[in-house]
Amino acid sequence: MVVAIVLILLIIGAAIVGALYSSFLAFYTNFGDTIAYNKAYYAAISGLERAELVLRYRLPWYQGSGGWLATANWGEKADHQPKDFGYFFTGEENGILREIASRTKRIPATGQGNVEWTLVTGDARDYNKLDYLNAENFIFSVDDLSKKPYEKGGRTESQLTSFSGTIRLPPFLRRDGWFEKLNENDDIDGDDINNDAMVDWSLQGKYDWDDFQIMSTRDINYTDKKIKPNNDSVIRESRINSENWAVLNFNNNKNPFSSVGTGLTVISAKEDELKGLNFSQLTNNTKITDKKFRLSLLNLLTSTNGLIYPYLEYQFSFPTEIADRFYKITTIGKYGNYEVKLLVEKPTIKESILWSFTVIF
């Protein structure tokens, strides 16, 4: 009898222990998975910090990678060693990788535009916004890749024989006649001329180490209040209204809208030398350094039905790679069976309209 009772108690105890074990087993397994995932996540964060450290020393157009997987380099250049992370790298599948890319032949790259998803229609993801707050800058003076990742990079110049771009009204707002075309018959800026200037462009840099700025020209006959189309090179309402976009071509001309005329305003101590050059000679010139192309909005984009467009859309193409508008940083952290991937975009340059101006004496 006693033996039977003991056996019954043992069976009951075993059942209780089994139930407790089975209930805690899933928790224990999940707890282990959580630890592994967190290690992979923070490894990816560490890779991001490594990338940020690299960019403290490098210029736009920099492109490279680094990392460590177990006992081998992971990427083009390893920029840290296993000893930096203690026992983290003892496992065969443990590692950290960072990759940085900032080159492109088109701004923005296909599908990489910054128009909000709620305002996207058609090919709008292939365009960036030009808004009232920020000037858009394209950098033609880029990083010299001959240096190691944590060494201060030198500078080299993108030599361009030409480049072109499109500036347009947002198709999403134009659909179904919601927003109409820009109002060419109203004088917004008070200069007594209708068909107002909407977008300004400029090419900036150094010519023989002297600063220069080449700007779009406003060429107006104020007597009869007419614009001189051969020399006027600012982007006006009528150009944007034409098929809903303005096409700019910078090649062997001096006006992006015309093969004739001058269309340039030059601000430089060497104005006479620069005035004789066309765009191809300016952008493909070894005497010119620190080149940058800039776009900015000048006036409110008022439609004929009284609505104000919040932005324009733009896209530019180049024959050779230039610095992208963003550093595209990819980092991967691996621990055991877990891999965490982070994608971050950091502006290569961003300039506020409020702090961008030129004083002409």
Domain parsing of the chain, residue ranges: 99-354
Higher-confidence position of 71 and 195: 195
Helix (H, G, I), strand (E, B) or coil at 206: strand
Question: What local confidence, expressed as pLDDT, does residue 179 receive?
Answer: 87
Lowest mean pLDDT among 61-65, 70-74, 95-99, 233-237: 70-74
Residues 232 and 220 sit within 8 Å (Cβ to Cβ): yes
Exposure b/e, 7-22, CB count within 10 A at least 16 = b: eeeeeeeeeeeeeeee
Question: What local confidence, expressed as pLDDT, does residue 7 receive?
Answer: 61
The reply to whether the predicted model has a pTM over 0.85 is no
Q: What is the DSSP string of 2-17?
A: HHHHHHHHHHHHHHHH
Residue located via tokens 């075993």 = 14
Question: What local confidence, expressed as pLDDT, does residue 69 receive?
Answer: 67
How far apart CA 79 and CA 334 sit, in angstroms, is: 17
Element (H, E) at 343: strand 338-347
Higher-confidence position of 350 and 206: 206
Mean pLDDT rounded to a whole number for the chain: 79
Mean pLDDT of 1-5: 63
Could you report the per-residue pLDDT of 5-18, keeping only the tens digit for each?
A: 656 666 665 556 55
Tokens, residue 178: 């919601």
Q: Is the pLDDT of residue 119 over 60?
A: yes
CA gyration radius for the chain? 30
Could you report the per-residue pLDDT of 237-290, keeping only the tens digit for each?
A: 988 988 778 888 998 888 888 776 677 888 888 888 888 888 888 888 888 888
Question: What local confidence, expressed as pLDDT, does residue 27 receive?
Answer: 44
